[in-house]
């Protein structure tokens, strides 16, 4: 059996497809946090890593089963320096359930092995680095080095006693046993803990070094750990927790294991209040979780807005807003690139939408809704502006009809008015792409002749479903969009 190295990585062709698991040019880096967060906690890592410009992809610890939180590397099928081609097995991973071959989705060179065979890593953590060319191998190696150095010190969590008893959250299945024997502790005193005590300590995330043993010869017994956690003794721990526990002085790559524990397992912080979702919030939550099943990628594009700003000043008195202008521009670009207006409903086919309906994200009190400007390519900006006013009014009154917020074929989300220079949107279910628009800012640019000038630039970032929309499609669409915005006369036609 084979598994993808990352649940969110994208299989397919195209020069720009590598976003989910690559650290590409700096301009793309901004896309990463959200993408990687969706792959299960890897976002923290991405945020730690300084900008890396070359095409170096991380091979993550894949989630091989629904209950897997970390996996052990059984063996690396390939060694450092080996050339890999798409679909080849790279590494064998042992999960809580089985051993599986993990294959690569990309061609490249296995530049560095971050987690060696026999060690464990949490799901989503990079276990190796894949360089696209020979030139990037040294860079990848350096990155691997910096990664292992930037590992945070092991987090010791001692949960507050009384509440944790009341809510015994299912303990994350601890890692498969590490074959290497426990390192000899050179510390001042040798910790002696019984096998079950070590298992319990791991399960309850107790730093065994802080527990005082009361057993024979001062050894730490299971009841010492239970006392430390605040469990009254005689609670049978029957959950199958495969673990043979290395003492906490285990080597660095697996050291931050406890930090990767899913939030669900964390004890509640005292004094917090729990407010249930409203219906709308629940719907948003459901849609967001659903979006994880779609393989998305992001393409960013800088657009010069001087001409658009000038146009905006002209049409503003007639009630036309920037939102409408952007929606119109997007609609016109979509008309030329129907694939970006398409959607993938069943995972097997393209669904080309006849009309171009632009949904616009609107924040309302305690929620988020996306009123739809239907046929935005056909209507002129004045008519669209009128429609938009109506939709906003209905949104505030929560009177939108289902077809007025669910018929979108493409979404525009604009946070530019808040000074946000760039952001990353999540693709709503049922649509092929979403555009995230940042603020327009004066930027120094050099033209072809070497003359400097100051132009207003805004960063536009499109998230798309890579099952149907490929990198080149988005690039072409953004190019058209930029042309329309940079020469906005056509918007008024």
Partner 1 sequence: MPASVSLSLSLPLSPTARSDPSVAASPFGAFRRSGLRFCGLRREVLSLRSLNSEASGRISPYPARVLSNKVLAAAKSNGSPTKGFDYDLVIIGAGVGGHGAALHAVEKGLKTAIIEGDIVGGTCVNRGCVPSKALLAVSGRMRELQDEHHLKALGLQVASPGYDRQSVADHANNLASKIRSNLTNSMKALGVDILTGVGTIVGTQRVKYGKVGFPDTEVTARNIIIATGSVPFVPNGIEVDGKTVFTSDHALKLEWVPDWIAIVGSGYIGLEFSDVYTALGSEVTFVEALDQLMPGFDPEIAKLAQRILINPRKIDHHTGVFAKKIRPAKDGKPVLIELIDAKTKEPKDTLVVDAALIATGRAPFTKGLGLENINVTTVRGFVPVDEHMQVMDADGNLVPHIYCIGDANGKLMLAHAASAQGISGIISQTMFIFHTFVEQICGNNNVLNHLSIPAACFTHPEISMVGLTEPQAREKSEKDGFEIRVAKTSFKANTKALAENEGEGLAKLIYRPDTGEILGVHILGLHAADLIHEASNAIALGTRIQDIRFAVHAHPTLSEVLDELFKSAKVNVVTSPSVSEPVAV
Looking up tokens 């993808």 gives 4
Shortest gap between Cβ of 180 and partner 1 (angstroms)?
8
Shortest gap between Cβ of 80 and partner 1 (angstroms)?
22
- Find the part of the chain contacting partner 1 (CB under 8 A) among 53-61, 177-185, 410-418, 475-483: 177-185
Contacts of 47 (CB under 8 A, 6+ apart): 33
Task: Using CB under 8 A, pick the residue from 51, 117, 182, 417 that binds partner 1.
Answer: 182
Q: Which is nearer to partner 1, 52 or 176 (CB)?
A: 176
Sequence-ordered alpha helix ranges (H) in 41-168: 43-48, 137-149, 161-166
Contacts of 202 (CB under 8 A, 6+ apart): 174, 241, 243, 245
State the Cα–Cα distance between residues 415 and 412, nearest whole angstrom. Answer: 10
Task: Using CB under 8 A, pick the residue from 1, 153, 167, 184 that binds partner 1.
Answer: 184
Quote the strand ranges of 22-69, DSSP E: 22-23, 56-60
Task: Using CB under 8 A, pick the residue from 55, 199, 204, 457 that binds partner 1.
Answer: 199
| Binders in 226-255 for partner 1, by CB under 8 A | 236, 238, 240-245
Q: Two tokens at 29?
A: 């880096």
Shortest gap between Cβ of 96 and partner 1 (angstroms)?
9
Task: Using CB under 8 A, pick the residue from 65, 196, 262, 268 that binds partner 1.
Answer: 196
Task: Using CB under 8 A, pick the residue from 37, 44, 78, 219 that binds partner 1.
Answer: 219
Q: What is the DSSP letter of 343?
A: B
Shortest gap between Cβ of 295 and partner 1 (angstroms)?
32
Q: Which is nearer to partner 1, 217 or 452 (CB)?
A: 217
The catalytically annotated residue of 332, 466, 473, 480 is 466
| Binders in 81-120 for partner 1, by CB under 8 A | 99
The number of residues making up the chain comes to 493
Whose CA is closest to 105, among 466, 374, 435, 402?
A: 466
Shortest gap between Cβ of 200 and partner 1 (angstroms)?
10
Task: Using CB under 8 A, pick the residue from 198, 205, 328, 466 that binds partner 1.
Answer: 198
Q: Does 179 bind partner 1 (CB under 8 A)?
A: yes
Whose CA is closest to 438, among 428, 423, 453, 452?
A: 423
Q: Does 209 bind partner 1 (CB under 8 A)?
A: no
Q: Which is nearer to partner 1, 183 or 310 (CB)?
A: 183
- Find the part of the chain contacting partner 1 (CB under 8 A) among 211-219, 398-406, 411-419, 455-463: 211-219
Q: Are strands 410-414 and 358-360 parallel, antiparallel or unpaired?
A: parallel
Q: Does 216 bind partner 1 (CB under 8 A)?
A: yes
Q: Which is nearer to partner 1, 174 or 408 (CB)?
A: 174
Q: What is the DSSP letter of 48?
A: H
What are 60's strand-pairing partners? 126
State the Cα–Cα distance between residues 326 and 158, nearest whole angstrom. Answer: 51
Contacts of 194 (CB under 8 A, 6+ apart): 215, 219, 220, 221, 222
Q: Which is nearer to partner 1, 180 or 490 (CB)?
A: 180
- Phi and psi at 312, nearest 5°, equal -60, -45
SS3 of residue 108 by DSSP: strand
Q: Which is nearer to partner 1, 94 or 404 (CB)?
A: 94
Alpha carbon 24 to its chain's center: 15
Q: Two tokens at 431?
A: 């649509």
Q: Is residue 466 among the annotated active site residues?
A: yes
State the Cα–Cα distance between residues 297 and 472, nearest whole angstrom. Answer: 12
Query: For partner 1, how many residues bind (rule: CB under 8 A)?
Result: 28
Task: Using CB under 8 A, pick the residue from 1, 79, 153, 181 that binds partner 1.
Answer: 181
State the Cα–Cα distance between residues 235 and 472, nearest whole angstrom. Answer: 59
Residues that bind partner 1 (CB under 8 A): 99, 176-177, 179-182, 184, 190, 192, 194-196, 198-199, 215-217, 219, 222, 236, 238, 240-245
Which residues are catalytically annotated? Answer: 466
């Amino acid at each position: 059996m084979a598994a993808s190295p990352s649940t969110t990585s994208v299989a397919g062709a195209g020069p720009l497809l590598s976003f989910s698991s690559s650290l590409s040019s700096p301009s793309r880096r901004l896309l990463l946090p959200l993408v990687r967060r969706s792959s299960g906690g890897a976002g923290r890592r991405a945020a730690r890593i300084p900008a890396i410009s070359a095409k170096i992809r991380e091979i993550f610890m894949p989630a091989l089963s629904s209950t897997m939180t970390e996996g052990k590397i059984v063996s690396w099928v390939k060694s450092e320096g080996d050339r890999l081609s798409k679909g080849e097995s790279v590494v064998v991973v042992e999960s809580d359930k089985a051993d599986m071959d993990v294959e690569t989705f990309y061609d490249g060179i296995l530049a560095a092995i971050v987690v060696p065979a026999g060690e464990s890593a949490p799901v989503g953590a990079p276990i190796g680095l894949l360089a696209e060319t020979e030139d990037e191998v040294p860079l990848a190696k350096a990155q691997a080095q910096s990664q292992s150095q930037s590992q945070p010190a092991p987090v010791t969590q001692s949960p507050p006693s009384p509440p944790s008893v009341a809510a015994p959250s299912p303990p994350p299945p601890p890692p498969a046993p590490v074959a290497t024997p426990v390192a000899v502790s050179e510390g001042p005193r040798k910790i002696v803990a019984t096998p079950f005590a070590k298992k319990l300590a791991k399960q309850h995330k107790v730093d065994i070094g802080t527990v005082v043993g009361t057993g024979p010869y001062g050894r730490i017994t299971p009841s010492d750990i239970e006392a430390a956690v605040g469990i009254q003794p005689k609670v049978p721990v029957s959950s199958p927790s495969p673990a043979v526990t290395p003492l906490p002085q285990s080597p660095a790559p697996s050291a931050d294991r406890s930090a990767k524990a899913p939030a669900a397992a964390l004890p509640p912080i005292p004094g917090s209040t729990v407010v249930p979702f409203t219906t709308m919030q629940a719907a948003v939550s459901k849609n967001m979780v659903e979006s994880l099943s779609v393989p998305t990628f992001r393409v960013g594009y800088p657009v010069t807005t001087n001409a658009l700003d000038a146009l905006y000043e002209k049409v503003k008195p007639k009630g036309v807003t920037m939102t409408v202008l952007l929606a119109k521009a997007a609609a016109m670009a979509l008309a030329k690139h129907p694939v970006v207006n398409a959607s993938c409903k069943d995972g097997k086919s393209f669904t080309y939408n006849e009309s171009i309906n632009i949904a616009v994200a609107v924040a309302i009190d305690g929620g988020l809704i996306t009123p739809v400007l239907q046929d935005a390519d056909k209507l002129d900006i004045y008519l669209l502006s009128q429609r938009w006013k109506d939709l906003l009014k209905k949104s505030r009154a929560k009177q939108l009809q289902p077809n007025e917020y669910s018929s979108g074929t493409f979404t525009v989300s604009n946070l530019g008015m808040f000074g946000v220079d760039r952001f990353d949107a999540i693709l709503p279910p049922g649509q092929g792409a979403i555009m995230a628009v940042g603020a327009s800012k004066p930027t120094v640019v050099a033209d072809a002749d070497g003359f400097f000038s100051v132009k207003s630039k805004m960063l536009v970032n499109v998230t798309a479903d890579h099952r149907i929309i490929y990198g080149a499609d988005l690039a072409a669409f953004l190019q058209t969009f930029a042309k329309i915005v940079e020469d906005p006369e056509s918007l008024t036609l």
